[in-house]
């Protein structure tokens, strides 16, 4: 273990700068900066903030573009006791100052509406870093490929984990499947965090085989067994994970070396997390769980995720979908993620999103939006009929060249819902 309970990522930068000043901290484009240089540039970034009158506890919103300056800001702002508020397409509403101890305010992914600002305390961040490091075993020798947005907890967590461990980050200016595949192929990185859509596209560009990768952390959305098996077959040690902004990223993760026997699960809870199921809903507690949202009343009791799932006999979490995405059609419950997995297992399909559209006869009808050629739809319908219950088989099918995506790389379900509504009506 490298992380310590009372030492935060921005403090680790200074520690590593003294102990191993020439060690690479961040590689971006053709630029590589050491821990010593990152330390100096963070100090230089912090001084103007002080001159502007920013004090301890003040919120500092800034556009978190995928570049070196954002990483520097994430180190600099906490050095003066202020709170970074990285944002992407939407600026979340903030007050000027928070009274409680806060390390960062991070927007939710926005997949179910306008993002809310999640409060993450120093204790949340440290607990998350330590639990992740125990599970993954990353250390100062690892370089983490970072293609996730830096206004999303998945991207921020890569920065925090790497800086705490004294490792390095290979930062890409957004996700490009060709470039990501090249980095995984040429041995320049040993760890990577991806959402399923990204892994799909990497394997479509270069099916492998890959070597020298220590871990592929796969989360942000349900991944089909077929996708995980493709990754494993390509030599990528895919470790499915489950987490969210409100838990400072990971909650459960497949243990390294157990990926094949953990197929279909998101692994066991990380140290310090309590994961229970209440009425089918996943409920989480532990020191990494956020106290709440900015501008809202503090959370009381464990965090109710709104996700549905259950634990298998080995204590591994199986996520089945979202409560608010459950489709009731003809009196039957349909979980979109189960249908999406069945569709995406078909070779002709890249990706799929399943939504429910209001219908007078059925209440809602199941609609599949599939990233494929239109003339492939009849064969896809026949193929899934053997693997789905009759009420689960979509009544309408829409072929698209590319699914609408959020900046995080996850499917934009609101846009997909709007697209299905337009097409059907």
- How do residues 208-260 score in pLDDT, each as one tens digit? 889 999 999 999 877 888 889 999 999 999 999 999 999 999 999 999 999 99
Position 30 pLDDT exceeds 90: no
CA 318 vs CA 10, 257, 327: distances in Å? 35, 18, 19
Residues 312, 350 share a domain: no
Position 337 pLDDT exceeds 90: no
For residue 402, tell me if it sits in a domain: yes
Residues 341, 223 share a domain: no
Residues 409, 314 share a domain: no
Boundary of a domain, candidates 292, 321, 350: 321
pLDDT category, 203, cuts 50, 70, 90?
A: very high
- Rounded CA-CA distance 189/171 in Å is 11
| Contact (Cβ atoms closer than 8 angstroms) between residue 90 and residue 110 | yes
Residues 243, 178 share a domain: yes
Position 343 pLDDT exceeds 80: yes
Residues 186, 334 share a domain: no
Q: How many domains does the chain have?
A: 2
Position 418 pLDDT exceeds 60: yes
Position 271 pLDDT exceeds 80: yes
Position 6 pLDDT exceeds 80: no
For residue 23, tell me if it sits in a domain: yes
For residue 150, tell me if it sits in a domain: yes
For residue 4, tell me if it sits in a domain: no
What's the pLDDT at 251? 97
Range ranked top by mean pLDDT from 49-63, 110-124, 321-335: 49-63
Position 4 pLDDT exceeds 80: no
Encode 122-146: b = buried (16+ Cβ within 10 Å), e = exposed. Answer: bbbbbbbbbbbbebbebeeebbbbb
Least confident of 32-36, 123-127, 305-309: 305-309
| Contact (Cβ atoms closer than 8 angstroms) between residue 330 and residue 302 | no
Residues 238, 160 share a domain: yes
pLDDT category, 288, cuts 50, 70, 90?
A: very high
Residue 214, token pair as written in the block:
């220590």
Residues 118, 23 share a domain: yes
Residues 149, 288 share a domain: yes
Query: Nearest to residue 59, comparing CAs of 86, 26, 41?
Result: 86
Residues 353, 207 share a domain: no
What's the pLDDT at 364? 84
- Averaged pLDDT for residues 282-297: 93
What's the pLDDT at 362? 80
State which residues form the domain around 346. Answer: 326-424
What's the pLDDT at 1? 43
Residues 24, 158 share a domain: yes
Boundary of a domain, candidates 304, 321, 338: 321
Range ranked top by mean pLDDT from 23-37, 291-305, 317-331: 23-37
1's CB contacts (< 8 A; 6+ apart) are 130, 133, 134
For residue 3, tell me if it sits in a domain: no
Boundary of a domain, candidates 298, 321, 344: 321
More confident call, 74 vs 201: 74
What's the pLDDT at 100? 65
Report how far Cα 300 is from the mean position of its chain's Cα atoms: 25
Neighbouring CB atoms inside 10 A of 310's CB total: 12
Question: CA angle, 413 as apex, 358 and 93 as ends, to 5°?
Answer: 115
- Give the bridge partners for 32, in sequence order: 27
Position 90 pLDDT exceeds 80: no
Residue 85, token pair as written in the block:
């508020």
For residue 407, tell me if it sits in a domain: yes
Tell whether the torsion through CA atoms of 78, 131, 34 and 153 is positive or negative.
Answer: negative
Report how far Cα 288 is from the mean position of its chain's Cα atoms: 16
Range ranked top by mean pLDDT from 36-50, 359-373, 399-413: 36-50
Position 3 pLDDT exceeds 50: no
Percent of the chain's residues with pLDDT above 90: 61
Residues 368, 259 share a domain: no
For residue 195, tell me if it sits in a domain: yes
- Rounded CA-CA distance 87/92 in Å is 7
**Which CATH number do you get for residue 341?**
3.30.300.30
pLDDT category, 41, cuts 50, 70, 90?
A: very high
For residue 287, tell me if it sits in a domain: yes
**Which CATH number do you get for residue 75?**
3.40.50.12780
Residues 299, 352 share a domain: no
């Amino acid at each position: 273990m490298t992380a310590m309970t009372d030492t935060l990522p921005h403090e680790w930068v200074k520690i590593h700068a003294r102990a191993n000043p020439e060690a690479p901290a961040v590689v971006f484009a053709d630029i590589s900066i050491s821990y010593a240089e990152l330390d100096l540039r963070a100090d230089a970034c912090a001084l103007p903030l002080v001159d502007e009158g920013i004090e301890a506890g003040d919120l500092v919103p800034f556009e978190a573009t995928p570049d070196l300056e954002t990483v520097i800001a994430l180190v600099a702002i906490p050095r003066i006791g202020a709170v970074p508020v990285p944002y992407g397409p939407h600026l979340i509403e903030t007050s000027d100052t928070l009274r409680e101890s806060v390390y960062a305010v991070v927007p939710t992914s926005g997949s179910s509406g306008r993002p809310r600002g999640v409060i993450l305390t120093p204790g949340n961040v440290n607990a998350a870093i330590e639990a992740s490091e125990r599970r993954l075993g990353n250390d100062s020798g690892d370089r983490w490929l970072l293609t996730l947005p830096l206004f999303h907890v998945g991207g921020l967590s890569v920065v925090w984990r790497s800086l705490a461990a004294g490792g390095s980050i290979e930062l890409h200016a957004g996700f490009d499947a060709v470039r990501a595949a090249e980095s995984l192929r040429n041995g320049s990185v040993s760890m990577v965090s991806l959402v399923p859509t990204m892994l799909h596209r990497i394997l479509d560009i270069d099916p492998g085989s890959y070597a020298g990768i220590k871990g592929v952390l796969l989360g942000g959305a349900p991944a089909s067994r077929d996708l995980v098996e493709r990754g494993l077959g390509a030599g990528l040690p895919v470790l499915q994970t489950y987490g969210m902004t409100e838990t400072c990223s990971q909650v459960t993760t497949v243990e390294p070396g157990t990926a094949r026997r953990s197929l279909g699960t998101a692994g066991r809870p990380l140290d310090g997390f309590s994961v229970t199921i209440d009425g089918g809903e996943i409920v989480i507690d532990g020191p990494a769980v956020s106290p709440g949202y900015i501008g809202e009343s503090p959370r009381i009791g464990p965090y109710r995720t709104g996700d549905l799932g259950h634990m298998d006999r080995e204590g591994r979490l199986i996520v089945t979908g979202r409560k608010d995405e459950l489709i009731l059609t003809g009196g039957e419950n349909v979980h979109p993620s189960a249908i999406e997995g069945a569709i995406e297992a078909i070779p002709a399909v890249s990706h799929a999103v399943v939504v429910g559209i209001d219908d007078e006869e059925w209440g809602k009808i199941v609609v599949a939006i599939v990233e494929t050629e239109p003339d492939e739809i009849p064969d896809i319908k026949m193929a899934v009929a053997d693997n789905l219950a009759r009420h689960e088989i979509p009544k309408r099918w829409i072929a698209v060249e590319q699914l609408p995506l959020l900046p995080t790389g996850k499917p934009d379900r609101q846009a997909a819902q709007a697209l299905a509504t337009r097409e059907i009506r």
